[in-house]
Amino acid sequence: MSTLEEAKADERYLKLLAEKFPTITSAATEIINLQSILSLPKGTEHFLSDLHGESNAFSHVLKNASGVIRRKVDDIFGMSMREADKRELCSLIYYPEEKLARVRQNEKDLDDWYRMTLHQIVEVSRAVSSKYSRSKVRKLLPIEFAYVIEELMHQDKIEPDKQEYYNAIVNTIVETNRSEEFIIAICKLIQRLVIDTLHIVGDIFDRGPGACNIMETLCDYHDFDIQWGNHDIEWMGAAAGNLALIASVLRISIRYANVETLEEGYSINLLPLATLAIDVYGDDPCTIWQTNDFENNPRLKRSAQLMAKMHKCISIMEFKLTGQIIMRHPEWGMNDRLFLHLIDKEKGTITVNGKEYELLDKNLPSIDPADPYKLCPGEEQLMQQLAHSFRRSEKLQKHLRCLYQHGSLFLVRNNCLLYHAAIPLNDDGSFKEVMVDGKLVKGKALMERVDRVIRKAFFAPHGSEAQQNALDYMLYLWCGPCSPLFNKDKMTTFERYFIDDKDLYKEQKGAYFILANTKDTCCNILKEFGLDPSKSHIINGHVPVRTLKGESPMRADGIRLVIDGGFSKPYHATTGIAGYTLIYNSHGLQLVQHEHFENKDKAIDEGIDIHSRVQLEEFKYHRMLVRDTDRGRELIEQVENLQKLLLAYRSGLIKEK
């Protein structure tokens, strides 16, 4: 209990607090409310990583809460419900509108089906809401149905009188033709309650066609955070105006025939690029620039030749623009990434590390040997048009603001350290010093300083030197050797396009990717971020876990969890699965492995769900309560301050209003 001396010391703050709680009764009521919340079980946290634009799979995982809903259905109905009926009920909860449309076509006695289904989903909603206060659940209810749903959820059906009342409510819903609206509302409430907080551990963008849809879902989501990944930074830099990263975004999108995100998602006009590509490379077969990755967008296959020309055109511009930025920043030590001045156009060769190679593509009309990194007039005009399109795309800028508002380079939450890729390390496991914005930093200080630079790229005064340097640094984060989002010695994009020597394609990973598999290294990292290694975890993505080769997502004796299981379809052949989800609830940690998600129709008709789960850690002695979380510590502090306010009221230090 607080002392009067403590209350006097905090008198100014307590007077402000008294504005919100002006009486002993109001302050005491809030203390009772907060103490009761502290005693509730911890809400369920979901962790996903490396979504790479796979919006359909992402949406399905959110709807089924990584199998949590199915397990609740099993717990509630057990052997009293057939397996097929459980699948039907779950698919209804995941996709209520679509499932109801099918039921209307096939069900003979709709009213009876509605009654039965309303009883069932109310039971599920009761179960998933049990760890929350009534006040919190009430706030989540749709206004038009709030009273009735709350009555259904909290009626005691054991008492005969209450059973009749309960049945009367259900019958009235059916008789007034409101069944479907109520079913949809309760299903969406269940989806909302089973995920209290969502953590996205990087890489929303790239590869798949639905990054825009994922961002749109996240922007409206109730509670989430993002730890930026390298592909997120690439898009953030492009949206903020880095020309090299704009070119990189276009190159990768075209390379994987994934222009849907650009054109349909963000209204980026690619016609100027197509026009320039035809002008410059009209008769060029662009053989090495062809792509066969048309699965995401089959219609583009008809334009394969044009796509190849566009691919080549934007790639040459990217190499030029990247070279310009690298030359502006010799402190990065990336001059080995400059290649265009090494080309001998007459001979059709390039000399790298003293060795001459024949170029795989010798037709380079837009490269001026006298100034190879300078954009020609047509390229300059195109980049200005593209930059304008990126800046004027309302949806892209909305999503960029969302990424900044809810994102960070790392996050410490409830004894978990979240970051996408790496903490730069020396070979001996010590933290590597890296020059960031004019200062040598390492470990946590490095991550904090990089986070600030990323924010400068968007929030510093437009056109200022600070913003330009920060905007340039976004390129370093994308491909720089000591970037915590890349952490390889080089990105060998140029070599893979132009030189037939696989030895030049090798990208040496930083020491982190080996040492972070050891317990000692992970313990040191956790201590650096103020966490107790005996009860904390590092959660990463970035590097797909190759399950087919026997790799495990659990590293360093289970301290580090790598949850990139390959959401993106191109990785499925490598990983053998379709992603991981980490669930952190009041009972412990569970790692859920996903099977390949084909489409929504199959999920509705066949009840496709989670393939398997692995129990990582179970709290043996007690369920984790809200008081055991970071949020709980904040609430405890609020209780202590309210207790001081009560003491101030009762001692006359502050008067009630």
CA 83 to centroid of chain Cα atoms: 33
CA-closest candidate to residue 237, choices 518, 519, 473 = 473
Q: Is the pLDDT of residue 311 over 90?
A: yes
Predicted pLDDT at 367: 96
For the stretch 58-83, pLDDT in tens is: 888 888 888 888 889 999 998 899 98
DSSP string covering 96-117, please? HHHHHHHHHHH-S-HHHHHHHH
Predicted pLDDT at 155: 66
Report the pLDDT averaged over residues 102-114: 88
Q: Is the pLDDT of residue 578 over 70?
A: no
431 band by pLDDT with thresholds 50, 70 and 90: very high
Q: Is 625 helix (H, G, I), strand (E, B) or coil?
A: strand
Predicted pLDDT at 657: 85
For the stretch 614-643, pLDDT in tens is: 667 777 667 899 999 999 999 999 999 999
For the stretch 261-276, pLDDT in tens is: 999 999 999 999 999 9
Partner residues linked to 537 by β-bridges:
416
For the stretch 280-301, pLDDT in tens is: 999 999 999 998 665 556 666 6
Q: Is the pLDDT of residue 156 over 70?
A: no
What does the mean pLDDT of the chain come to?
Answer: 89
CA-closest candidate to residue 297, choices 578, 596, 569, 595 = 569
Give me the amino acid identity at 106: N
DSSP-derived pairing of the beta strands 224-227 and 197-200: parallel
Q: Is the pLDDT of residue 359 over 80?
A: yes
Report the pLDDT averaged over residues 12-37: 91
Domain residues of the chain, as ranges? 4-39+637-651, 45-199+548-624, 230-400+433-509
Measure the CA–CA gap between 68 and 61, rounded to whole angstroms: 10
Highest mean pLDDT among 278-292, 390-404, 584-598: 390-404
Only one residue has tokens 């005064």, namely 461
Q: What percent of the chain has pLDDT over 90?
A: 64
Token readout for 19 is 């504005």
Predicted pLDDT at 246: 98
Only one residue has tokens 């007039």, namely 377
Predicted pLDDT at 170: 86
The 3-state secondary structure of 565-621 reads CCCCHHHHHHHCCCCEEEEEECCEEEEEECCCCCCHHHHHHHCCCCCEEEEEEECCC
Partner residues linked to 650 by β-bridges:
none
Predicted pLDDT at 313: 97
543 vs 94, residue with greater confidence: 94
Measure the CA–CA gap between 118 and 151, rounded to whole angstroms: 13
Q: Is the pLDDT of residue 491 over 60?
A: yes
Q: Is 421 helix (H, G, I), strand (E, B) or coil?
A: coil
Q: Is the pLDDT of residue 33 over 70?
A: yes
Measure the CA–CA gap between 13 and 19, rounded to whole angstroms: 10
Predicted pLDDT at 415: 94
**Quick one: how many helices (H) and strands (E) in the chain?**
28, 17
Predicted pLDDT at 570: 62
For the stretch 178-206, pLDDT in tens is: 989 999 999 999 999 999 999 999 999 98
For the stretch 125-155, pLDDT in tens is: 988 888 888 888 888 888 888 888 888 887 6
34 band by pLDDT with thresholds 50, 70 and 90: very high
Token readout for 75 is 């717990």
The residues, any chain, with a CB within 8 Å of residue 163's CB and separated by 6 or more, are 157
For the stretch 497-509, pLDDT in tens is: 999 999 999 999 9
